[in-house]
């Protein structure tokens, strides 16, 4: 079903009806929002923000992500609408002038980036060019020039940019056991990482055994937090990379494959409310011997619930990180 329009709510003078329609004539669904609920939605959309609204029944929710708005309402199937589409219609209905923003990224403050509008090329902010490189470069300018906003605690949990912006490594884990389904999700996320030629030149060892974890502490320069609730060792497997390149290149590819997979796992863990510490300081030979493998490890990712939630660390200015080659 696709979100199609906003119209007056006949039962509530100042509220509205949001209408979804399917392919079939009879296939439709309608959500009625009262004034307060509608005002909350308008408030978030007019700021190009993300967030969560709990409806009056205290059970139903609307989650506004940068790309999609999800309505989880009692008595309805999950209804979704593209944020861009709903924002346009809702703000028009509320008679709030709104200039579509094609990109807004604030990377330093705790706030998610925005998405690239579908109509980006039609807005005046986008230079008229079909040249791919120019487009990318103007996006870079937009990133560099955007103003950071302050933290909005109501931001949606599922916004990937929120996860990037709020992730913080942990070296002190709570004793809480990690749910198996979360581990499954982390491993599945690692498997979605790109790999050279899609040959998946890596292997992940999921260490559950306490003795092995202790041995890994030793192999990691005695870093005690390696003995974490979940320990993943990312190893390179260049033999899987069936590309006609010298062994050195294949080695390099598998190192990148393993590193990227670990990075995806780290982000996934953060998205699941967990925290992690990336361990690069390892004695490779020792790790290989502990795991009984001839695959060289690239990193160990130690995951758990953080003992204490802490804000993300600061970074150098984005302008210092990036050099634009005009």
Ligand X SMILES: Cc1cc2nc3c(=O)[nH]c(=O)nc-3n(C[C@H](O)[C@H](O)[C@H](O)COP(=O)(O)O)c2cc1C
281 binds ligand X (CB under 6 A): yes
Largest CA distance in the chain: 72
Nearer to ligand X, 111 or 223 (CB): 223
280 binds ligand X (CB under 6 A): yes
Interface with ligand X in residues 293-322 (CB under 6 A) = 312-313
> CB of 17: closest distance to ligand X in angstroms?
45
Question: Mapping DSSP to helix (H, G, I), strand (E, B) and coil, where does residue 6 land?
Answer: strand
Q: Is the dihedral of CA 182, 186, 189, 191 positive or negative?
A: negative
208 binds ligand X (CB under 6 A): no
CB atoms within 10 A of CB 317: 11
Taking CB atoms, the residue at the shortest distance from ligand X is 280
Q: What is the pattern of x (binds ligand X, CB under 6 A) and - over residues 125-164?
A: ----------------------------------------
Nearer to ligand X, 194 or 280 (CB): 280
> CB of 149: closest distance to ligand X in angstroms?
20
The answer to whether the CB of 92 falls within 8 A of the CB of 302 is no
- Under 8 Å CB-to-CB from 287, ≥6 apart: which residues? 216, 219, 220, 233, 297, 300
Applying CB under 6 A, which of residues 93, 110, 164, 278 lies at the interface with ligand X? 278
Nearer to ligand X, 148 or 280 (CB): 280
> CB of 252: closest distance to ligand X in angstroms?
15
- Under 8 Å CB-to-CB from 159, ≥6 apart: which residues? 50, 65, 66, 112
Nearer to ligand X, 100 or 312 (CB): 312
Q: Of 4-12, 36-44, 165-173, 283-291, which segment contacts ligand X by CB under 6 A?
A: 165-173
232 binds ligand X (CB under 6 A): no
Q: Of 35-43, 118-126, 144-152, 272-280, which segment contacts ligand X by CB under 6 A?
A: 272-280
- Reported for 245-254, long-range contacts at CB under 8 A and 24+ positions apart, including other chains, are 250/201, 253/195, 253/196, 253/197, 253/201, 254/196, 254/201, 254/202
267 binds ligand X (CB under 6 A): no
169 binds ligand X (CB under 6 A): yes
The answer to whether the CB of 299 falls within 8 A of the CB of 277 is no
> CB of 94: closest distance to ligand X in angstroms?
39
Map tokens 């690069």 to a residue: 280
Distances (CA, A) of 161 to 42, 216, 268: 22, 32, 12
> CB of 188: closest distance to ligand X in angstroms?
22
Applying CB under 6 A, which of residues 83, 200, 223, 256 lies at the interface with ligand X? 223
The answer to whether the CB of 145 falls within 8 A of the CB of 102 is no
Residues that bind ligand X in the complex, under the rule CB under 6 A: 168-169, 171, 223, 277-281, 312-313
């Amino acid at each position: 079903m696709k979100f199609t329009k906003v119209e007056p709510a006949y039962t509530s003078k100042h509220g509205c009806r949001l209408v979804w329609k399917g392919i079939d004539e009879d296939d439709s669904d309608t959500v009625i929002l009262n004034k307060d609920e509608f005002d909350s939605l308008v408030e978030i959309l007019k700021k190009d923000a993300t967030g969560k609204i709990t409806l009056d029944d205290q059970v139903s929710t609307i989650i506004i992500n940068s790309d999609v708005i999800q309505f989880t309402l009692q008595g309805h199937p999950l209804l979704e609408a593209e944020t861009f589409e709903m924002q346009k219609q809702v703000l028009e209905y509320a008679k709030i002038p709104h200039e579509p923003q094609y990109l807004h990224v604030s990377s330093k403050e705790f706030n998610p980036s925005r998405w690239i509008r579908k109509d980006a090329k039609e807005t005046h902010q986008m230079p008229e060019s079909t040249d791919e490189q120019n487009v990318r470069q103007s996006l870079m300018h937009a990133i560099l020039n955007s103003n950071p906003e302050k933290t909005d605690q109501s931001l949606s949990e599922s916004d990937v940019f929120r996860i990037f912006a709020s992730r913080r490594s942990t070296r002190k884990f709570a004793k809480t056991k990690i749910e198996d389904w979360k581990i499954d999700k982390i491993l599945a996320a690692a498997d979605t990482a790109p790999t050279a030629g899609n040959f998946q030149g890596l292997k992940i060892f999921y260490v559950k055994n306490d003795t092995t974890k202790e041995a890994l502490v030793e192999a990691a320069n005695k870093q005690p937090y390696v003995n974490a609730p979940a320990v993943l060792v990312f190893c390179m497997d260049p033999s899987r990379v069936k590309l006609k390149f010298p062994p050195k290149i294949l080695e390099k590819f598998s190192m990148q494959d393993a590193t990227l997979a670990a990075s995806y796992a780290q982000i996934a863990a953060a998205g699941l409310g967990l925290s992690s510490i990336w361990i690069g300081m390892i004695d490779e030979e020792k790790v290989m011997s502990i795991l009984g493998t001839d695959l060289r490890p690239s990193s160990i990712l130690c995951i758990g619930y953080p003992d204490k939630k802490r804000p993300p660390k600061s970074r150098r200015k984005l302008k210092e990180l990036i050099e634009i080659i005009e």
